[in-house]
Amino acid sequence: MILLLIYFLTVSGNMSVSLLILADKHLIQTPMYLFISTLSFLETLYINVTVPFMLMCMWRGKVQIKFNHCLLQMYLLHSLGITENYLLNIMAYDRMVAICNPLRYHTVMTSKHCTILLSSCWLLGFTSPIIHLVSVLKLPFCGPNTINHVFCDLSPLLKLSCMDTSFTFILNFLISLCIISCTFFFVSVTYIRIIITILRMSCTYGRKKAFSTCASHLTTVLLFYGSLGFIYIRPKVEYSLEYDKLIAVNYSVLIPFLNPIIYSFRNKEIKNTFKKLLNRYKNFRA
């Protein structure tokens, strides 16, 4: 099965990136690699929330899931998604300081500052979806109990309620709009400033290196916000459920799968660390 293969490659790829960075003292003390390691760990958690359930559904045809378990899956899905959202903003901020204010980088991005940023990221990520959770808990469910989706999410759950969910939809829409648009605006402004600074560089090598460093992160940002925006901040109109499922698979499976490839495996430092560990293993076996 293709999905099972992608799942295995995603988990092994992301965990490999995290462990490689943790194994190198120099990399783990560098903010950029600390954030990449966190992103890889986050993607591993994210794909484990959705894909095992998808695989079970494909294997058995239909899978029964308790309402509380369904809500837990929705909460974890949103929490990890919002955490990644904030993490991408932190990573953009890190690159902006490194490129626009290189002389101040080590005084701004200290170990303490990085710890505060990451702690805030996880805290906000896991508290923001509580409103979504409470709004669904207040709804009565008395009709069909079959979710026409690849996993438990807000929209398919709202469709199962036997009362008008317009207010709940609008409330959650406004919260999602606020979070996604504000963070995307910050990332956009950050990258505009980065690009302007890079274009002003007189050194061709420095310009090329800066663009190369930012290209991977920018690709991840565009994939993430493109999928997220379509699902959570679109107006309430009828869309094809099959199309919804396709987009859901994109941001819950393909993005975690692609991130280690576009973000880390092209990185020379991570490649060198892998070669060092491989040589150590060969010498140990010899």
Tell me the pTM.
0.88
Average pLDDT of each block of 10 consecutive residues along the chain (286 residues)? 86 89 86 91 92 78 74 90 94 92 91 95 94 86 72 80 83 86 92 89 76 78 80 61 70 82 72 74 60
pLDDT of residue 242: 64
**3-state secondary structure at position 24:** coil
CB count in 10 Å sphere of residue 13:
21
**Residue whose C-alpha is closest to residue 22's, from 8, 36, 10:** 36
Torsion of CA 89, 93, 96, 101, to 10 degrees: 180
**3-state secondary structure at position 264:** helix
Domains contained in the chain, number: 1
CA distances in angstroms from 124 to 117, 119, 121, 154, listed in the order given: 11, 9, 5, 19
The domain in which residue 86 lies consists of 2-285
Give the C-alpha separation, 168 to 139, whole Å. Answer: 9
CATH number reported for the structural domain that contains residue 84 in this entry: 1.20.1070.10
**3-state secondary structure at position 223:** helix
Give the C-alpha separation, 62 to 75, whole Å. Answer: 22
Give residues with Cβ within 8 angstroms of 132, minimum separation 6. 74, 75, 78, 154, 172, 175
pLDDT of residue 243: 67
